[in-house]
Structure 1
């Protein structure tokens, strides 16, 4: 997913800069309020959103995968944690549980360990890659239920959006959630406003798109965006290096095990080297490990 391209007019919401400029825009929360309402599938508009310090990490960049975390509270004391995940993360739901339980414990402590009237906590994960192979829906909300699908407790909600499962065309987009996801997937591909779908003229999306229009940027904003691109490129390079090193280590382990098995079967040094496709010197080094020399 190419979300960083200096030649495009609009910055992707999925990028570090784009996510902070929209979801994390403290100066204007119009987009955030509407997006949260859509993500939690609520018919009740959110009137006020106040950003709060995330007790685990505030609005931060995860250099390994380009993640921004935001935490906020609405006028009814509902707590929201929103996290974007671009790279593959099969265990992402475990991470969500960690954040929610940490926030739950924080609220209990602040209430002097009282459990009544606790505010609701919504942990929202927006994922570029799917994590639920057995679930076809791109949007899921999970609460505590019994085997008969009866609600046990809804104080904590886990909301996931798997972007790669969203296949709707522009003409099929009707709900605010679909408008949000479609915008995430396609804004950075558009070059001119004449290509805008009609719903991009809605106030909440229009304001977000304006923040992502490179032509509207001040010199300071452009500098911040270029620094984000640079940081992302470095992160990708470091991640690629780690992957390559891991592959090399795995390949070395396989070859070493192959040689050990070959030598235990009393194959010659030459035969072992040929079997593992390595040099005689490498076979000798493995033989020394086996003999403890």
Structure 2
């Protein structure tokens, strides 16, 4: 175990950004992403669980949810591993802070405060893999590419694409990305990160400063993180191999080079689509064996808690 915590673990992320004493770290980080008119001076953490509108509707559990003094809502998600339909999940999550602004009675004029969802991703979206841009700002636009509604913004940071060295760091945003990307590997605070906010961050992130309970919680969080990464990486590799094999088989049956190439591509695509649900269930079963919390399995696989519970019941019978 290194000197500093891994911010992509549940404990690490919430230790640095999810507590009242450290909210200045979160404010500083978010302000690097936000436009000037939505810069945060102060914020309040709120309950991170949102209930569905009806008893059978799906709930949402955010990593962090907070509201600024001027009313803007912020959902912050640290996504550890690639997940099917993560973009859809983001949109679904963003509907909760919109809907809860509705005032009771007939006098409400439908005025809404801005909602931001920030996803810090330890992976790259499949359709962005050839794109060098690592920071994506998403808003609702019309057919002329003009912003139609500017009060809902989804921001995705694809962290594996950040490759700047310490010597190349120029802006506060660069420095934040560098810290998030490399914190567990560092043995001391880099010379380029001498701002006060980073001094506090490194002090809070130093594992040697944890009390016994914090250390135990962090060690458990690291184990869960490694287990999930291992399960996901193994499943992804297995899926690629099966898809490639199927594509080659179809290509050989065509008997032409064109057919072989199409077969390979179609086989990979069909293998991904047809196997997505089964792969999610396989991952869920493996994580259940490792006693991973249901909420974490649901976030990772996209399955509902009821679907996961049914897998657990079937495994026990």
Task: Tell me which moved more, 232-241 or 117-126.
Answer: 232-241
C-alpha displacement at 1:91, in angstroms? 2.6
Task: Tell me which moved more, 92-101 or 111-120.
Answer: 111-120
For residue 176 of structure 1, what is the aligned residue in structure 2? 172
Distance of 1:231 and 1:84 partners within structure 2: 15
For residues 208-229 of structure 1, the C-alpha deviation after alignment (integer angstroms, 9 at most, x for no partner) is: 2211101222222212212223
- Among 204, 209, 212, the alignment partner of 2:197 is 204
Normalised to the residue count of structure 1, the TM-score between the two structures is 0.70
Any stretches of 5+ residues in structure 2 without a counterpart?
52-60, 251-317
For residues 156-171 of structure 1, what are the structure 2 equivalents within 5 Å? 156-171=152-167
For residues 219-262 of structure 1, the C-alpha deviation after alignment (integer angstroms, 9 at most, x for no partner) is: 222122122234335545666787799899x79xx8xxx9xxxx
Rg larger for: 1
Distance of 1:222 and 1:79 partners within structure 2: 32
Larger relative helix fraction:
2
Any stretches of 5+ residues in structure 1 without a counterpart?
1-5, 58-66, 259-293
For residue 31 of structure 1, what is the aligned residue in structure 2? 25
Does the residue aligned with 1:72 lie in a helix, a strand or coil? strand
For residues 14-65 of structure 1, the C-alpha deviation after alignment (integer angstroms, 9 at most, x for no partner) is: 22221011121222211000111112244764211100113438xxxxxxxx
Q: 1:143 to 1:246 in 2, by over 3 A?
A: closer
User: Are 1:37 and 1:43, in contact at CA under 8 Å, matched by a contact in 2?
Assistant: no
- Among 72, 76, 82, the alignment partner of 1:78 is 72
Distance of 1:78 and 1:133 partners within structure 2: 32
Distance of 2:106 and 2:220 partners within structure 1: 43
The alignment's C-alpha RMSD in Å is: 3.2
Q: 1:44 to 1:232 in 2, by over 3 A?
A: closer
Q: 1:117 to 1:88 in 2, by over 3 A?
A: same
For residue 9 of structure 2, what is the aligned residue in structure 1? 15
1:107 matches 2:101: yes
